[in-house]
Amino acid sequence: METKADATRRRWYTELYVQVLFGIVAGVVVGWLAPHTGTSLGPLGDVFLKMIKMVIGLVIFCTVVAGIGGMSDLKKVGRVGAKALLYFEVLSTLALLMGAVAANIVRPGDGFNVDPASLDAAAVATYVGHAQANNAVSFLLGIVPTTVFDAFAKGEILPIVFISVLFGYVVSRLGERAKPVAVLVESTGQMVFGVISVLMRFAPIGAFGAMAYTIGRFGIGALRPLLGLVATFAVTGTIFVCIVLGAVSQWAGVNIFKLMRFLKEELLVTLGAASSDVALPSLMQKLEHLGCSKSVVGLVVPTGYVFNADGTSLYMTLAALFVAQAMNIHLTVLQQVAIFAVSMATSKGASGISGAGFIALVGTLSVIPSIPLSGMALILGIDRFMSAGRAIVNITGNAVATVVMSSIEGELDRDRMRLVLSGAHVEELASGSPGAVRAQVGAHAGGGHGSLQATPQI
Asked if 335 contacts 119 with a C-beta cutoff of 8 angstroms, the reply is no
- Which of 334, 383, 339, 377 has its CA nearest to residue 358? 383
Task: Note whether residue 76 is domain-resident.
Answer: yes
Structurally, the chain folds into a number of domains equal to 1
DSSP label at residue 279: G
- Model's pTM, two decimal places? 0.79
Residue 142 lies in domain:
4-444
Letter string b/e over residues 222-232, b meaning 16 or more CB atoms within 10 A of that residue's CB: beeebebbbeb
Residue 457 lies in a domain: no
User: What was the pLDDT predicted at 438?
Assistant: 46
Whether the bond between 43 and the residue before it is cis, its omega within 30 degrees of 0, is no
Q: Distance (Å, rounded) from C-alpha 268 to C-alpha 257?
A: 15
User: Mean pLDDT per segment of 10 residues, for the chain of length 458 residues?
Assistant: 51 81 91 91 88 87 83 76 91 94 92 71 54 59 82 82 88 85 88 88 90 83 79 95 96 94 92 85 92 90 87 90 89 86 71 62 76 78 83 94 94 92 67 45 40 36
In a domain, 386, yes or no: yes
Q: What pLDDT score does 451 carry?
A: 36
- Calculate the dihedral angle through the C-alpha atoms of 325, 329, 334, 336, rounding to the nearest 10 degrees: -30
The helix (H) or strand (E) run that includes residue 294 is helix 294-307
Model pLDDT, residue 404? 95
Interacting residues of 292 by C-beta distance below 8 A, sequence separation 6+: 402, 403, 406, 411, 412, 413
d(CA 65, CA 456): 20
Which residues are paired to 412 by β-bridges?
292
Task: Determine, yes or no, domain membership for 456.
Answer: no
Q: Which helix (H) or strand (E) holds 237?
A: helix 227-239
Evaluate whether residue 451 is within a structural domain. Answer: no
Within-domain flag for 320: yes
Measured distance CA(390)–CA(274) in Å, rounded: 8
Q: The domain that contains 233 carries what CATH number?
A: 1.10.3860.10
**20 within a domain of the structure (yes/no):** yes
Alpha helices, DSSP H, located in 366-422: 377-380, 383-408, 414-422
Please check whether residue 454 lies inside any domain of the structure: no
* Contact yes or no for 203/48 (Cβ under 8 A): yes
Q: Tell me what pLDDT residue 222 has.
A: 67
The rounded distance, in Å, linking the Cα atoms of 5 and 26 is 32
Q: Are 269 and 207 in contact (CB under 8 A)?
A: yes
